[in-house]
Chains A and B, each alone.
Chain A
């Protein structure tokens, strides 16, 4: 069974540019989560999808971040325009309905904003 995949693995962009991160959850996992880890800090929750619906987006830092999950499969996280403080590792995780505790993490996307 394939795990959670994320693309790209690394992205280097300039301040003001747009970047879109993609996450493919484990097949059949309706829960999808986005997290971010800024260097030296803890992993922080961004938002949670159940299928295509946003269940909780309380962790989204501001309106420069837009997450979508069309069709309840893969998800994208767009940052527009990117700022220096957006640099970090963005993790995606997925879990089955009924076992929300058991989240499987993807390898992460390392975003560097110059």
Chain B
């Protein structure tokens, strides 16, 4: 059974700080790694994806992947109150033409002014 583990939080950080969200996964064959942001009552929104070991930066977001240790993290620099949401980690591998992600339960992030 493929599993993706996340600390449910909440993770509380002050405005302007760096928020660090972590995720571990069980399937060593995983190929794609995603971070989704979900505001309360809304749909998940893809904010980052990463395929290779190392860092990938996009604006204030940096995704970090370490396949040997089977973890992926998301750093949010200069956190804003509008970043307050649940962040879902998802991990996928291709199987028979399908690319099906396995989701974690999410980490709740609160950015306080």
Q: Using a Cβ cutoff of 8 Å, how many contacts connect chains A and B? A: 52
Q: How far is the CA of A51 from the CA of B45 in the complex (A)?
A: 23
Instruction: Tell me which of A12-20, A62-70, A73-81, A103-111 binds B.
Output: A103-111
Number of interface residues of A (CB under 8 A): 23
Contacts of B97 in A (CB 8 A): 50, 55-56
Q: Is the CB of A42 within 8 A of B100?
A: no
Contacts of B46 in A (CB 8 A): 102-104
Interface of chain B: mostly helix, strand, loop or mixed: strand
- Partner of A45 from the list B4, B36, B101 (CB cut-off 8 Å) is B101
- Nearest B residue to A48 via CB reads B98
Q: Is B25 an interface position by the 8 A CB rule?
A: no
Q: How far is the CA of A101 from the CA of B94 in the complex (A)?
A: 10
Point out residues on B near A: beta carbons under 8 Å: 4, 32, 34, 36, 42-46, 49, 88, 92, 95-106
Point out residues on A near B: beta carbons under 8 Å: 4, 33, 40-45, 48, 50, 55-56, 59, 91, 100-108
